[in-house]
């Protein structure tokens, strides 16, 4: 990401998010190039990662579909121009108004996570005289090598339908008049860098498909969810995730039946590296054992370090002076309001601009107004020339 020209940031209130649309467009190009190799592969952007309308518009221009988990997301992506027939709608606890919104808009597919949810979708669709497409989210009981808070595919997690109930729910759906069974949906977790985890998922899907096939059940859609990780340690060296290996892994390991399409729900891998949180140093404080760079961004602007112990590379955009060691902390009244500890930065002084990299995914969208703080604004490189 190009952060050399800081003049463009003059007069903008910090902290704010900055999105480099060159990085975003290059990422989208690579995705389109790689998926072109495999007919029937279709990527839905997981809007939960970043719902900034300017970012969404760039993603829509590249032709991707979209993965929503709330009625609010469905409304937001429609504002950005995404057509409803590219929307998949997941979530364990959809409210009636959200189901209605999906049905009214004839979305591509609901990813259904329980029998009671299926019954309500069928009931609402019947009231509206419509037929809703449904995929069933199956909990594959496949682990992923990532942080415990972001694994989703284990039997103990709240997500999805147990494998042993898969045939029961498909059978139930076949008896309902207002739902149309389309396929299976999975998601094992996020920030996954080991392709073996995706191999394990593909193997599990193969087993389940064999079982269904032996019972004469046809599946059109296989949705493998998202989860591809990004390089938080060396983001400048690796701005674009390894989509080649990712899609190749599925192509090699997932056994498809004729006519099946494979759907992906990638969030972080699409937007993670195009965004940075830009913040200003308010004070440098010498503690008895530490030197603190106190910045004007807090965990309210970027909660990932406090919530998941996540690492975001931090750089000083203003100074080239010799490096010193700092704890970079925010102004929030919580001891977990720490971005990183004992890191080297070019010597920091009051007023310096600091960038926290790889913050395009689960950054701006997870911001809160705790301590009555203003929400950070997101700007793109297209607007700040």
Q: What is the CA radius of gyration of the chain?
A: 22
Of the candidates 137, 132, 107, the residue with the CA atom closest to the CA atom of residue 121: 132
| Residue 160, strand partner residues | none
User: Residues in the site for ligand LLP, rule: CB under 6 A?
Assistant: 46, 48-49, 67, 90, 150, 152, 187, 190-191, 225-228, 265-269, 304, 308, 362
Q: How far is the CB of 313 from ligand LLP (least distance, A)?
A: 15
Cβ distance to ligand LLP smaller for residue 187 or 204: 187
Cβ distance to ligand LLP smaller for residue 194 or 383: 194
Query: Do 323 and 347 touch, CB atoms closer than 8 A?
Result: yes
Give the C-alpha separation, 374 to 351, whole Å: 20
Of the candidates 262, 90, 99, the residue with the CA atom closest to the CA atom of residue 161: 90
Cβ distance to ligand LLP smaller for residue 268 or 373: 268
Q: Which single residue is written with the structure tokens 């329980």?
A: 114
Cβ distance to ligand LLP smaller for residue 158 or 177: 158
Distances (CA, A) of 127 to 104, 130, 132: 11, 8, 12
Q: How far is the CB of 202 from ligand LLP (least distance, A)?
A: 16
Cβ distance to ligand LLP smaller for residue 46 or 64: 46
**Backbone torsions φ then ψ of 154, nearest 5 degrees:** -95, 155
Query: Do 3 and 355 touch, CB atoms closer than 8 A?
Result: yes
Q: How far is the CB of 318 from ligand LLP (least distance, A)?
A: 28
**Backbone torsions φ then ψ of 264, nearest 5 degrees:** -120, 150
Of the candidates 76, 123, 131, the residue with the CA atom closest to the CA atom of residue 106: 131
Q: Which single residue is written with the structure tokens 């739902």?
A: 179
Q: How far is the CB of 209 from ligand LLP (least distance, A)?
A: 20
Q: How far is the CB of 362 from ligand LLP (least distance, A)?
A: 3
Q: How far is the CB of 228 from ligand LLP (least distance, A)?
A: 6
Q: How far is the CB of 342 from ligand LLP (least distance, A)?
A: 23
Distances (CA, A) of 321 to 316, 325, 375: 10, 12, 32
Q: How far is the CB of 237 from ligand LLP (least distance, A)?
A: 21
Q: How far is the CB of 52 from ligand LLP (least distance, A)?
A: 15
Q: How far is the CB of 347 from ligand LLP (least distance, A)?
A: 31
Beta-strand pair 16-19/41-46 = unpaired
């Amino acid at each position: 990401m190009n952060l050399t020209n800081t003049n463009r940031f003059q007069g903008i209130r910090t902290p704010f998010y900055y999105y480099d649309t060159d990085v975003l467009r290059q990422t989208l190009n690579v995705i389109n190039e790689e998926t072109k190799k495999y007919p029937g592969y279709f990527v839905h952007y997981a809007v939960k990662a970043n719902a900034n309308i300017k970012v969404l518009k760039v993603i829509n221009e590249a032709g991707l579909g979209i993965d929503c988990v709330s009625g609010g997301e469905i409304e937001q992506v429609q504002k950005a121009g995404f057509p409803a027939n590219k929307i998949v709608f997941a979530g364990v606890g959809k409210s009636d108004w959200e189901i209605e919104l999906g049905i009214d808009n004839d979305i591509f597919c609901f990813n259904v996570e329980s029998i009671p949810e299926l019954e309500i979708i069928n009931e609402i669709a019947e009231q509206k005289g419509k037929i809703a497409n449904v995929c069933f989210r199956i909990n594959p009981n496949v682990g992923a090598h990532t942080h415990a808070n972001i694994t989703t595919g284990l039997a103990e997690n709240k997500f999805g339908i147990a494998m042993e109930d898969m045939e029961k729910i498909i059978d139930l759906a076949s008896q309902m008049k207002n739902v149309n069974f389309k396929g299976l949906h999975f998601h094992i977790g996020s920030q996954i860098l080991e392709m073996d985890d995706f191999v394990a998922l593909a193997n599990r899907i193969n087993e389940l498909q064999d079982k269904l096939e032996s019972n004469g059940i046809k599946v059109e859609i296989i949705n493998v969810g998202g989860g591809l990780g990004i390089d938080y340690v060396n983001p400048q060296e690796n701005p674009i995730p390894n989509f080649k290996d990712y899609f190749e892994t599925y192509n090699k390991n997932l056994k498809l039946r004729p006519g099946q399409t494979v759907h992906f729900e990638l969030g972080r891998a699409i937007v993670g590296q195009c965004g940075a949180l830009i913040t200003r140093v308010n004070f440098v404080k010498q503690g008895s054992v530490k030197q603190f760079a106190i910045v004007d961004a807090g965990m309210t602007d970027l909660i990932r370090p406090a919530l998941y112990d996540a690492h975001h590379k931090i750089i000083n955009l203003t100074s080239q002076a010799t490096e010193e060691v700092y704890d970079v902390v925010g102004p929030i009244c919580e001891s977990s309001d720490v971005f990183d500890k004992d890191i080297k930065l070019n010597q920091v002084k009051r007023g310096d601009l600091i960038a926290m990299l790889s913050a395009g995914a689960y950054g701006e969208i997870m911001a809160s107004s705790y301590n009555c703080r203003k929400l950070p604004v997101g700007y793109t490189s297209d607007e700040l020339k």
